[in-house]
Amino acid sequence: MLQINNLQVYYGAAQALFGVDLEISRGETVALVGANGAGKSTLLKAIIGLVRPSGGTILFKGKDVTAKSANRMVQAGLALSPEGRQLFGELTVAENLELGVLALKPGRTKTKRRMAEIFARFPKLKERRNQQAATLSGGEQQMVAMGRALMAKPDLLLLDEPSLGLAPLITDEIFAIIHQLSRSGVTILLVEQNAARALSASTSAYLLANGRIVHSGNSAKLLADPKLRQAFLGAASNENPAASRLGAAGLTNIRLEKPDMTHKTFMPSFKNKEELEKHQLKGLQWTINHAFEGSSFYRAQLEKAGIKPGDIKSLSDLRKLPFTTADDLRDGYPFPLRSVPFEQIIRIHASSGTTGKRKVLAYTRKDVDDWVGFFARAYEMAGITPLDRIQIAVGYGVWTAGMGFQLGCEEIGALAVPAGPGNIDMQCRFLLDFQSTVFCSTASMALLMAEEIHKRGIADKINIKKIIYGSERSSISMRQKISELFGGAELFDIPGLTELYGPGTGIECPDHDCIHYWADYYILEILDPDTLEPVTPGEWGEMVVTTLCKEAAPLVRYRTRDITRIIPGPCTCGSIMPRHSRIRGRSDDMMKFRGVNIYPSSIDSILSGIPGLGSEYQAHLSRDDKSGRDFMRLVVEHGGQCDKARRMELGKEVVHQIKKQLMVTVEADVVEYASLPRSERKSQRVFDTRIKDDIV
Ligand code: ZN
């Protein structure tokens, strides 16, 4: 269809194209990709006859058309949908479309027929046929520009930057149309800065830099080529956020080469706080740019806050950014915060939501690689080596835990025993037979195992040296008990949050007085949950996180609801990674009771469904330090006028309903109406005394 050989173009003395070769076959969609100023527009102008080449040839359908006029090129079967649309704003949609066939001078009937075809392809334009083009949205204007070019029924359609300036969702729509055009046999040359989009939408591609074709070939292969990232697109690593325009376009998703196995450390390369902060600023700038370019949700949030990507000049600008909450994730169900095209997403994970919608998080290849890399770092900090055998007794499946522990284990080169949760008998058997050296689970599971090991008297026959546990808070006495019954194992608390990749975003220090967290992947703020102002360093507050290189679902000031504090100053272990305390609790009221997440709102609704009860209640959670078992006692008021026998009955009904609906056993006391304290603000209904010790 089109064959370009050794094309040279000069603007005055400056050479813009240096011997470009390019070929397009009939029916193919070919992408021409490159940064701003690479020469893409010049090449298009040379093809359509708007600039005169000073060397080389252009063959179109076998005929030499080098330096033919634009009019002649349209008559020959070429049409251009130009960069910036270039519509006539005062003319209607229909009038703009008619301009597309002007050079061909067709009759009225033919023009009408063509227009009907265009309206069939773009039903939105049919609705707006008599509307002035200037009043259309950016996406609709792009449709008019494409429709106008298609009016000429071209053999080859040149699409120049069709997604430029469009919001992510509209870009999705435009690319869906390009896919359709391509499937219906239209030959397309697609010129795009949005490289990942263009490569995904095309069969083959040419990569242009400084007026030269530097790579070409099958688009899918180019998309998967690690060299592409380094050599040409240089895109969006933490070290190279200058390429973030391309990074925002999804280019960061191009697969990284697997780190070679001679790689000895997963610790970061920065040497001091200044280097870390420089890295964080670059990451923050990249993230805001990427979120703005890639996600309709974030774009709306940032626009509402009056923030443009270029506004982030220093780390303190973080405080200008709007917050993101769990509700935003639920509202965006099923793919909240999505900031890359679907074709770049390789996996999703979801939180174990007990009420309402789950929080679903998407991952690109790079997201998974990053997660696996820093999970390996967590293992490394706990002193785990390829000689260890890690028995992973956490849930595998849609939640993040199993995958994280597993892939991190493989990354560090240790032997994984993917046991999954529960099944105490099997776990004990594996500990004995496989001589596992590391045990990973929740704190309760670790306690359960510890008691079982003690009961069976096998502590001296197993080989567990380390226990990595997470996902719930634990008291010092509980930790001591676990360690003791496991024959003196060393405990490591590992934090984790589905929204923030999953577990492994830090780990308890080998000196056991803090959690070191991976500040090169996210920024941690500790804020007062009520005022949302920063607390004094060292004070307790809510953990708010902003990711620095997360692609598929970046987090901007995400409110985790976890309560912790920064521990200032250097650590005795020598690590320069900053640190926070073990998680003390959550700023919202969710209770974790015997492995079940319970919201006070579910207790509210169960109690209000029982006739005869009042609206006031208290939930008291306690822990038997000997057995480590948790108890919940509900103190509920009756609705007024109620004898002792009836109160007993009501109490039984409460226990029964809670058991039936929440699957947990509680005790219930029904007390006199109005005997519980009331408050004009929020009454305290949950009293959790399970953790009495000081938490480090
Ligand atoms: Zn330390």
Domain boundaries, the chain: 1-77+154-254, 88-153, 362-587, 592-688
Centre of ligand 1 from the C-alpha of residue 435, in Å: 28
User: Tokens 């409460």 label which residue?
Assistant: 654
pLDDT at residue 144, rounded to an integer: 94
589 CA from centroid of ligand 1 (Å): 31
The alpha carbon of 577 and the centre of ligand 1 are apart by a number of angstroms equal to 8
Which value, to the nearest 10 degrees, does the dihedral of the CA atoms of residues 204, 207, 208, 212 take? -90
Higher pLDDT, 239 or 592: 592
Question: Given a cut of 80, is residue 693 above it in pLDDT?
Answer: no
Put simply, whether the predicted model's pTM sits higher than 0.75 gets the answer no
Q: How far is the CA of 508 from the centre of ligand 1 (A)?
A: 8
Res 692 pLDDT > 90 = no
Distance 390 CA to ligand 1 centre (A): 22
For ligand 1, the distance from its centroid to the CA atom of residue 507, given in whole angstroms, is 9
CATH architecture type of domain 362-587: 3-Layer(aba) Sandwich (3.40)
Q: Which alpha helices (H) appear in 609-643, and where do they start and end?
A: none
CA 504 / ligand 1 centre spacing (Å): 16
What radius of gyration, in Å, describes the C-alpha atoms of the chain? Answer: 31
- Ligand 1 centroid–CA 532 distance in Å is 28
The C-alpha atoms of residue 471 and residue 458 are separated, in whole angstroms, by 27
Share of the chain above pLDDT 90, in %: 50
Query: What SS3 class is residue 675?
Result: coil
| CA of 352 relative to ligand 1 center, distance in Å | 31
Same fold, 362-587 and 592-688: no
pLDDT at 241 over 50: no
Predicted confidence (pLDDT) at residue 354 exceeds the cutoff of 70: no
Architecture of domain 592-688: 2-Layer Sandwich (3.30)
Helix boundaries (H) for 622-686: 644-662
Residue pair 274/267 in contact by the 8 Å Cβ criterion: no
How much distance in Å is there from the Cα of 525 to the middle of ligand 1? 19
451 touches 478 (CB < 8 A): no
**DSSP helix/strand/coil, 410:** helix
Q: Please identify which residue in the block is written with the tokens 């056991």.
A: 512
Kindly give the distance from the C-alpha atom of residue 115 to the centroid of ligand 1, in angstroms, as a whole number. 70
631 pLDDT band, cuts 50/70/90, is very high
| Burial of 183 per CB tally in 10 Å (0-12, 13-18, 19+) | exposed
- Confidence class of residue 179 from pLDDT cuts 50, 70 and 90? confident
The reported pLDDT for the residue numbered 70 is 85
What's the pLDDT tens digit per position in 53-109? 999 999 999 999 998 888 888 889 999 998 888 999 999 999 999 988 887 888 888
Order across the sheet with 686-688: list the strands. 667-671, 630-638, 613-623, 686-688
| Ligand 1 mean position, distance from CA 562 (Å) | 21
Picking from 654, 576, 592, the residue whose alpha carbon sits closest to that of residue 617 is 654
Query: How many A from CA of 563 to the centre of ligand 1?
Result: 20
Per-residue buried b or exposed e for 194-224, using 16+ beta carbons within 10 Å of the residue's own CB: bbbbbbbbbbbbbbbbebebebbeebeebbe
Q: Tens of pLDDT along 471-481?
A: 666 667 678 88
Cα separation of 643 and 665, whole Å? Answer: 25
- Domain 1-77+154-254: assigned CATH number: 3.40.50.300
Q: Please tell me the distance between residue 497's alpha carbon and the centre of ligand 1 in angstroms.
A: 21
* CA 578 to ligand 1 centroid distance, Å: 9
Work out the pLDDT band at 683, boundaries 50, 70, 90: low
Q: 688 C-alpha to center of ligand 1: Å?
A: 30
Report which secondary-structure segment, H or E, holds 502. Answer: strand 502-503
Q: What is the pLDDT of residue 475?
A: 67
Ligand 1 centroid–CA 510 distance in Å is 6
Beta bridge partners of 546: 523
Under the banding of pLDDT at 50, 70 and 90, the label for residue 606 is confident
Which one-letter amino acid corresponds to residue 683?
Answer: S
Cα–Cα distances (Å) from 256 to 26, 235, 364, 646, 686, in that order, read 34, 11, 11, 68, 48
